[in-house]
Structure 1
């Protein structure tokens, strides 16, 4: 029987490892919140299992630390590996597609080299810039010292950790006026998380999330979902993100502190920006090999100027925006969308 192996890194395993490395509990909690989608999606494993079984696929969710033993000795022709949570530094999910490649197994998603690239914002930005894509130029700082000085900016700067996601280390004052303020933020980030910071000129505009799941293996950029994400503020902070997902998100919902952002199709008001975003997605797919499942974050100005902020090869599948995308683009719930994607890939693999 064909099988879908979903590999994920749990939040609690990450917290335990960070504690051994000497991180205080509150910072370990913040860092591990990046893995909240593994907590949220686990609640739907029965629904995914049912959706897969209806399509003749055996669903096998596997914590990362058990993946090596599970993937050893399986039939490469009948096994598909889907990596749910990525990571190369604080998180370790990038090992899963590499293990799959060593075993000659089929995978959902990009090549494992891209898992490493998109987790390092500074290096990723350099590659995207070399491709001629509209990424803000960046400086890099470590604990109050410039490794690469940022360009002079009349609009001020935006400061974010280099290898952390889910808005970890982004505070209300992460937009600052002076380069000296950015260096002070780099000291705070290094003290809390031991990470460098990317320092970019602040770019105006509304936040946009572009999501993609190739339920149809032949789907292209026409299947991209492009939405403004209006959260009521200029940008989301770590506190905003932690209130939406995982263990901390569940607590926020129980306390009625959950405020889901609004999603508005970009094409409805700025079709030119929508077209440009799809052109950028096509460039990533053709030049970098981004495929199957991914997301991109943008800032879009009123005159249709588009700024590419970053891309992810492990988007938050159980997040509100990705669920909405599956419904609007494919007419499927998240479990059915995942099962249908896997079943079609396994069918294609069996015929080759």
Structure 2
């Protein structure tokens, strides 16, 4: 790598590296496959590294895709004046990508994305929910259970509750029975989650509404919330399960494509039918930027009711860039494919 040429380094953790490490740690292969599947964006983007390199070259940049296990040595040799680090995959529990922005900071390198402390916070749903609530944002309150024991009991909820792992990826459910009406079933699910994934569960009041994804890429330095892409995500189901997720991404998603059974959820702009909710989400995102420090690239998952009531489910500092929704956002908002949008963003940052 020429030390003087402006360079974008994309750090990513592969599904295989994660799978091998989990199996070595005693996880059954089936569980390791499920857990590592959350890193499918790394698998899905790898075939496009050549396109990314070409898009960078057109803008006078070099491009390096670096696996996480090689990042320590590569980042230590990088030129702080000419290097930008983009972390593709996050994680602090099963995944380790959250170490990459910290390593970049250790070596004095500029980064795309949030402060490295947020990489840890967003992966712990109970702690991040507490911070979001303290900022006055409409996040459902939560209980916390570990292997059949309440650490924090959930609040009363006439509509029932929703149960999800505390640190596993960014999904809002694992099994079809994740929505419950009996708190005792939450403890049963916590035992199941602990046995499968060695994780706690967050137990929140069930909130109604349609699923919404808000995506952001600060392609230009001055980009504001007018560039936030806010869409209903219509999959035909109330929430996404582990099986639903695996059918969309990575090797499993590719197999579904080859079998002709791959079906992406439909995306519908929220502003088209609920403009007040759209504006409220933009104001909420601005509050996340000011209060948490989100920047450059992120996503927010929400539920929006017909009366424009908004429930904030979670935020992500490493949104699934090669996923259907983020690609759609890049096309709609920036008129670019993913590779050009990423390269243009990097070039603008390195020129600043």
TM-score w.r.t. the length of structure 1 is: 0.98
Tell me which residue corresponds to 2:234: 230
Render the CA deviation track for 1:286-343: whole Å, top value 9, x for unaligned.
1111000000000000000000000000000000000000000000100000000000
How far is 1:168 from its partner?
A: 8.2
Q: Cα 1:10–1:168, aligned 2, differ >3 Å: closer, same or farther? A: farther
Match of 2:71 in 1: 67
Per-residue CA deviation, residues 262-299 of structure 1 (Å, 9 max, x unaligned), is: 00000000001001111110001011110000000000
Unmatched segments (≥5 aa) in structure 2: none
In structure 2, the residue matched to 1:127 is 131
Q: 1:228 to 1:312 in 2, by over 3 A?
A: same
SS in 1 for 2:81: helix
Give yes or no for the alignment of 1:153 onto 2:157.
yes
Who is 2:29 aligned against? Answer: 25
The answer to whether 1:187 aligns with 2:191 is yes
Distance 1:136 1:169, change over 3 A: closer
- Secondary structure at the aligned position of 1:77 is classed as coil
**TM-score for both structures, normalised by structure 2:** 0.98
Are the structure 2 counterparts of residues 298 and 169 from structure 1 closer, same or farther at C-alpha, using a change threshold of 3 Å? closer
Whether the 8 Å CA contact 1:317–1:334 is kept in 2: the answer is: yes
Q: Which of 105, 108, 121 is equivalent to 2:109?
A: 105
Could you tell me whether the CA contact under 8 Å between 1:212 and 1:293 is conserved in 2?
yes
With over 3 angstroms needed to count, the CA separation of the structure-2 counterparts of 1:115 and 1:194, relative to structure 1, is: same
Mapping of 1:209-288 within 5 angstroms?
Answer: 209-288=213-292
Q: Give the structure 2 partner of residue 301 of structure 1.
A: 305
For residues 145 and 312 of structure 2, the distance between their equivalents in structure 1, rounded to whole angstroms, comes to: 21
Number of corresponding residues: 348
Do the aligned residues in 2 keep the contact of 1:4 with 1:342 (CA within 8 Å)? yes
Give how far 1:32 is off: 0.1
Corresponding residue for residue 345 of structure 1: 349
Q: CA deviation at 1:167?
A: 3.1
SS of the residue 1:76 aligns to: coil
Say if 2:136 is the partner of 1:171. Answer: no
Contact 1:228 / 1:264 at 8 angstroms: preserved in 2? Answer: yes
CA distance in 2, matches of 1:20, 1:40: 25
Cα deviation 1:96-131 (Å, max 9, x = unaligned): 000000011000000000000000000000000000
Deviation at 1:233, TM superposition (A): 0.8
Deviation at 1:165, TM superposition (A): 1.5
Secondary structure of the 1:43 match is: helix
Which residue of structure 2 aligns with residue 201 of structure 1?
205
Deviation, structure 1 residue 73: 2.5
String of CA shifts for 1:150-185, please: whole Å, max 9, x gaps: 001100010000001153861110001111111111
Per mean C-alpha deviation after superposition, the further-off stretch among 46-55 and 245-254 is 245-254
Name the SS of the counterpart of 1:159 in structure 2. strand
Q: Is the 8 A contact 1:161 1:196 kept in 2?
A: yes
Aligned to 1:44: 48
Separation (CA, whole Å) in 2 of partners of 1:128 and 1:71: 33
Which runs of 5 or more residues in structure 1 are unaligned? none
Q: Secondary structure at the match of 2:204?
A: strand
- The offset of 1:257, in angstroms, is 2.2
Tell me how far 1:82 sits from its aligned partner.
0.2
Q: Do 1:169 and 1:189's aligned partners in 2 also have CA atoms closer than 8 Å?
A: no
- Kindly state the Cα deviation for residue 140 of structure 1 after the two structures are TM-superposed: 0.3
Q: Tell me the distance in 2 between the aligned counterparts of 1:168 and 1:244.
A: 15
Question: Which residue does 2:18 correspond to in 1?
Answer: 14
